[in-house]
């Protein structure tokens, strides 16, 4: 039985990835900071032989090792690592203080780096690491600030791992979601400016859903993706790769703000 570690698995994209991989027959170790919410994941999978969780702060010095040790102690192997844990609501460069900078980089770049470093020594040929980045790692993004910096660094880390460990049969790819309907995004969609930027500039007629990302991750863990390495797959309905504007945006009257 293959074993996957999924960080940030208590909600949103991480929860979707964990349940999707479990549905495909894998054993999953889900991590997060809230033990009660991780209990929801255990109940959703419903098979104690294939699900375990660990409540841990990834940014602590011993957090990554605790996670890897838990997977090895439970199942004796690690086949897939899904670095998903993240946080939103960044600020632009000039509004970002050092505390916020350190937090974003610590959670979304330093922690995945350290967790991959701990996990890769246990991985055998056919294993893979998948890093969840962002469209803001592709285009920079207004108000991206430390978030864009962290996710961009994670993209570069992805390519390094792919190059360094590919000869051992260990792949590494990134999945870059666009705006995806999760609890973290729900409040931001109440901001009309944020909503317009995403809905009126996406050529596909809906926003992203958790299953869109989870299905892409599941594919990258499958035999069908065994020759995909060092890639960043953008899942955003065409937001980053087109100059699309909706009819509403094109035909609206523009006024100075």
Percent helix, strand, coil in the chain, to 5, is 50, 15, 35
Given the residues 103, 147, 204, 244, the one annotated as active site? 147
Q: Take residue 131 and report the two structure tokens written for it.
A: 């890093």
Ordered DSSP codes for 60-71: STTHHHHHHHHH
CA atoms 153, 219, 11, 184: torsion sign? positive
Whether 147 sits among the annotated catalytic residues: the reply is: yes
| CA atoms within 13 Å, Cβ hemisphere of 216 | 23
**Polymer length in residues for the chain:** 257
Q: Which residues pair with 55 in a beta bridge?
A: 32
What letter does residue 190 receive in the DSSP assignment?
G
CA gap 169, 229 in Å, rounded:
10
CA gap 196, 11 in Å, rounded:
25
Q: Take residue 191 and report the two structure tokens written for it.
A: 């901001």
What is the set of active-site residues? 147
């Amino acid at each position: 039985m293959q074993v996957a570690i999924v960080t940030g698995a208590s909600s949103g994209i991480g929860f979707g990835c964990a349940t999707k991989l479990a549905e495909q027959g894998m054993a999953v170790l889900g991590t997060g900071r809230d033990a009660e919410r991780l209990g929801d994941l255990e109940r959703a999978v419903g098979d104690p032989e294939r699900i375990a969780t660990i409540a841990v702060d990834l940014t602590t010095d011993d957090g990554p090792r605790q996670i890897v040790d838990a997977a090895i102690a439970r199942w004796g192997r690690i086949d897939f690592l899904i670095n998903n844990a993240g946080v939103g609501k960044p600020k632009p460069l000039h509004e970002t203080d050092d505390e916020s900078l350190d937090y974003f980089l610590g959670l979304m770049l330093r922690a995945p780096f350290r967790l991959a470093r701990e996990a890769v020594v246990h991985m055998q040929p056919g294993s893979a690491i998948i890093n969840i980045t962002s469209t803001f790692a592709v285009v920079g993004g207004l108000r991206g600030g430390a978030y864009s910096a962290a996710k961009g660094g994670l993209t570069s880390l992805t390519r390094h791992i792919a190059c360094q460990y590919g000869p051992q049969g260990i792949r590494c790819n990134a999945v870059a979601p666009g705006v995806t309907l999760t609890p973290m995004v729900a409040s931001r969609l109440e901001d009309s400016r944020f909503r317009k930027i995403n809905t009126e500039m996406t050529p596909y007629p809906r926003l992203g859903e958790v299953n869109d990302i989870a299905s892409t991750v599941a594919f990258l863990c499958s035999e069908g993706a065994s020759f995909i390495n060092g890639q960043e797959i953008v899942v955003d309905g065409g937001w980053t790769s087109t100059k699309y504007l909706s009819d509403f945006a094109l035909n609206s009257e523009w006024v100075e703000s």
